[in-house]
Amino acid sequence: MDPFIAITLFAIGVLVGVITTKVLSSKQLPLILANAKAEIETELATTGQQLEYANEQLREASNQSIELQSIREQFNKLTATHEEHKKSAEEKLDFLESTKKHLEDQFKLISNDVAKKSRDEIKTLAESTVKQIKARSEEDLEKRTKAIDDLVSPVKDQLTKVNDKLVEYDKNRTEAFGKLDKELERVIKTSSDLKSETSQLVGALKRPQAQGDWGELHLKRVVELAGLTERCDFDTQHTIKTADGESQRPDMVVHLPGDKIVVVDAKSPSSNFAQAIEAGTDIEKKDQLKKHAQSVRNHVKTLTRKAYFEQFTNSPEFVVMFMPSDALYAAAVEQDPDIVADSIAGRVIIA
């Protein structure tokens, strides 16, 4: 066998083995075939050059009869060699083409197997990965859900309690408003009744006799609340006579320890004060208050003139003028600030 064919067969065998073991890549086969084809084409080119040279020698030999026979033999030999090389080259090309087709078929089979296996492996890997991701996602979702429940649960309980409190508060508020409405109705009624009674009282206090009775009653209630007892600690409407034989009757004589006494006379000049309250204008109100202050001053002068204390040897040298309302006293002092000092100078203590 031709050594070149043997070497080529050996190389092809090696290539087939490499491809079979998946070492040969898809880019190596075209390179090997190209190298083999280049070698064959090189040999053919060399043989063609030798043949061309022989033709030239033959043409020269036709002119040189001596060398004709030698050249003819050489030409025949070269022709035979060329035919052998040509045949060998054709056989090599056919073998290479057959091998190329066989290798391509084998490579396709191997590629299909590898691709299928790769697809199966990728699918299996993808399914496994998806399962793992899904499992982790479900686990993470469960943890997050639990964490959110743990976080929201106290708030939810608190909101429930707050809602219950709001419901209870609304119920209590409704009940309270109901009670408040009733209370307001009662207050309005009481206020109306009080206004009516006050109006009646004001009307009554405009009468001098009613004013005197109110002042005396109030004075008696004050000393009784202080713990004094009538006919023991105090006497009312105690009648005394002056040196001129004139009868005097102060509203109250209070007995003190050491056989001392204090004379008290109740005065309630409320007529002008009541009219000031009912006045429609500020001018009218101020005018009535001035009259009220003058009325108080007139009472002070009357008590100064009567000098009740002179009829009792054991009495201090003053008389107490009791006014049953602080408002009456304050209104008088506001309009006539000197009334206090003047009353003291007249031996009258306003209380």
Mean pLDDT of 80-98: 78
Whether residues 127 and 211 share a domain: the answer is no
Is 81 domain-assigned? yes
Task: From 132, 149, 184, give the residue that closes a domain.
Answer: 132
Q: Which of 310, 231, 299, 290 is nearest to 269 (CA)?
A: 299
Mean pLDDT of 307-314: 89
Is 56 domain-assigned? yes
Whether residues 344 and 214 share a domain: the answer is yes
Q: What is the pLDDT of residue 22?
A: 47
CB atoms inside a 10 Å sphere around CB 277? 14
Is 218 domain-assigned? yes
Write out the residue range of the structural domain in which residue 248 sits.
207-350
Mean pLDDT of 75-94: 77
DSSP, res 309: G
Task: From 77, 106, 132, give the residue that closes a domain.
Answer: 132
Whether residues 15 and 127 share a domain: the answer is yes
Rounded to 5 degrees, φ, ψ at 167 are -65, -45
Instruction: Give 8's pLDDT tier (boundaries 50, 70, 90).
Output: low
Q: Is the pLDDT of residue 153 over 80?
A: no
Instruction: Give 282's pLDDT tier (boundaries 50, 70, 90).
Output: very high
Q: What is the pLDDT of residue 67?
A: 64
Is 117 domain-assigned? yes
Lowest mean pLDDT among 63-67, 149-153, 251-255, 321-325: 63-67
Contact 300, 346 (CB under 8 A): yes
Structure tokens at 285: 């109100």
Q: What is the pLDDT of residue 23?
A: 42
Is 110 domain-assigned? yes
Write out pLDDT tens, residues 11-37.
556 555 555 554 444 556 667 667 777
Which CATH number is 303's domain given?
A: 3.40.1350
Contact 302, 244 (CB under 8 A): no
Domain count, the chain: 2
Whether residues 219 and 335 share a domain: the answer is yes
| CA distance linking residue 336 with residue 331, whole number of Å | 9
> How high is the mean pLDDT of the chain?
80
Q: Which of 204, 203, 237, 206 is nearest to 220 (CA)?
A: 237
SS3 content of the chain, % helix, strand, coil (to 5): 75, 10, 15
Contact partners, residue 134, CB within 8 Å, separation at least 6? none
Q: What is the pLDDT of residue 293?
A: 95
Task: From 132, 153, 174, give the residue that closes a domain.
Answer: 132
Is 137 domain-assigned? no
